[in-house]
Amino acid sequence: MMHPVLHDKLKADAARLSEALEHMSKLFLAPKEEKTLRAFTSAEVGELLRVSDGYLRKAHFDGRIPEVEQGAGNKRLYSAENILEIRRILAQNAKDPFQFLPGRRTGDKLQIWSTVNFKGGSSKTTTTVTLGMRLALRGYRVCLVDADPQASLTTFFGYQPEIDFRHGGTLYDAIRYNDGDTSRVPIVDVLRKTYFPNLDLVPGGIMLSEFETETPTALSRGEQPVFFNRIRDSLRQVEDDYDIVLIDCPPQLGYLTMAAVCASTSLLMTIIPERVDLASASQFLTMASGVLEVLYSNGGIGAYDNFAYLLTRFDTAISTQQDLAEWLRQLLGDSVIKTPFVKSSAVSEAGLAQKTIFEVDLATTKNRKTYDRALESVISFSNDIEKMIQAAWGRGVADEA
């Protein structure tokens, strides 16, 4: 039996897969319907604002904050927009307004974190989008940048990159090299507001792979800015609009990852505490150190605040993972974030519906205990990272009420 020409087979398979993905998406999203965000309970809002339920009830009773929708049992339900409005109102008369508006102050530099890993499957994208949503709910102005040609981060927001951005509109347009009459555009031209208040997106897409293949030619002809300055230069155009930028890097040490690293003030490396993943992490660090040394000598890498490791897909039932996690903490010290991102069916099930754990409807959750454990893990490691961000600005962060 004769096999078809390889590129014809790949093209046909890609078309079938794209069609199937579009059909799958329609199972979760009605045609032309945009994703929406669920409401939050008073307990959740109290945790986000760092106040007690009693404080929140009294603020409503005194008329200091507006009333909100009420659900079953006359329990208050808050939209993300409600939470932002309440933040601003409470900050106006608070002794410490930054408790409610914890973002940048005059003189604070934009925090840019890149999530990196040498291989896929380490929850890099899930970590990035989950952390971004948590920080947005906490009151920070957040921009997510999808620097991965696979564009998994972009799909979390209801897009199908291979269809929605087939003719442009991704990070590639903002960092591309000149080609005849076509040149890069301001990053604001590709920025997308999302259904998640305080959270914007720079989409990714397959065209980003062109950046990898075009960079050697651009280097040979001396085109400026050089590749490692292109993401950094683009983000400078919107520097005043955000407190935090999170960049999801491709699972390789290519030009895109190096450009993201050079733009960053901190790096977050996701690691599964298993031997094969630790070996891969070691290889990544060895390669990265050599590459970054060259970039540093050429002015590509400046001072950074943190290089942190987050243990992901952490299975508390596997003793060897617990042993390796402890070994890593002893080896790398405080660089390993205190709280791991636990492996959970709640996170996996949410991901199948293009959602994070924050978007799951509590009323329809079958296993509430599983959900609560996953949410506790996410909140805890996000709080750990938030403290690192605040420390980079020279201050602490308020603890929970």
Q: Which regions in the chain score pLDDT beneath 50?
A: 1-2, 31-32, 400-401
Instruction: Tell me the one-letter amino acid at 220.
Output: S
Is residue 198 within 8 A of residue 136, CB to CB? The reply is yes
Q: Are residues 80 and 224 in the same domain?
A: no
Q: Are residues 154 and 276 in the same domain?
A: yes
Q: Are residues 94 and 146 in the same domain?
A: no
Phi, psi for 345 (deg, rounded to 5): -65, -25
Is residue 171 within 8 A of residue 204, CB to CB? The reply is yes
199 in a domain, yes or no? yes
Point out the domain boundary residue: 99, 127, 150. Answer: 99
CATH code, domain carrying 379: 3.40.50.300
What single string gives the DSSP state of each residue in 291-304?
HHHHHHHTT-----
Q: Which of 296, 325, 298, 277 is nearest to 119 (CA)?
A: 277
Residues 6+ apart with CB under 8 A from 260: 114, 116, 145, 147, 231, 247, 249
pLDDT tens for 221-236 read 999 999 999 999 999 9
Q: Are residues 231 and 84 in the same domain?
A: no
Point out the domain boundary residue: 75, 99, 123. Answer: 99
Q: Are residues 93 and 131 in the same domain?
A: no
CATH code, domain carrying 46: 1.10.1660.10
128 in a domain, yes or no? yes
Domain with 87, as residue range(s), is 40-99
The pair of three-digit structure tokens given for residue 26, joined into one six-digit string: 């329609």
Is residue 246 within 8 A of residue 141, CB to CB? The reply is no
230 in a domain, yes or no? yes
35 in a domain, yes or no? no
pLDDT of residue 100: 95
Point out the domain boundary residue: 76, 99, 122. Answer: 99
The total number of residues shown for the chain amounts to 401
106 DSSP assignment: T
8 in a domain, yes or no? no
Q: Are residues 119 and 58 in the same domain?
A: no
Q: Are residues 66 and 194 in the same domain?
A: no
Q: Are residues 93 and 173 in the same domain?
A: no
Q: Are residues 121 and 82 in the same domain?
A: no
Q: Are residues 347 and 291 in the same domain?
A: yes
The count of structural domains within the chain is: 2
318 in a domain, yes or no? yes
Q: Are residues 188 and 82 in the same domain?
A: no
118 in a domain, yes or no? yes
133 in a domain, yes or no? yes
pLDDT of residue 11: 65
Q: Are residues 197 and 139 in the same domain?
A: yes
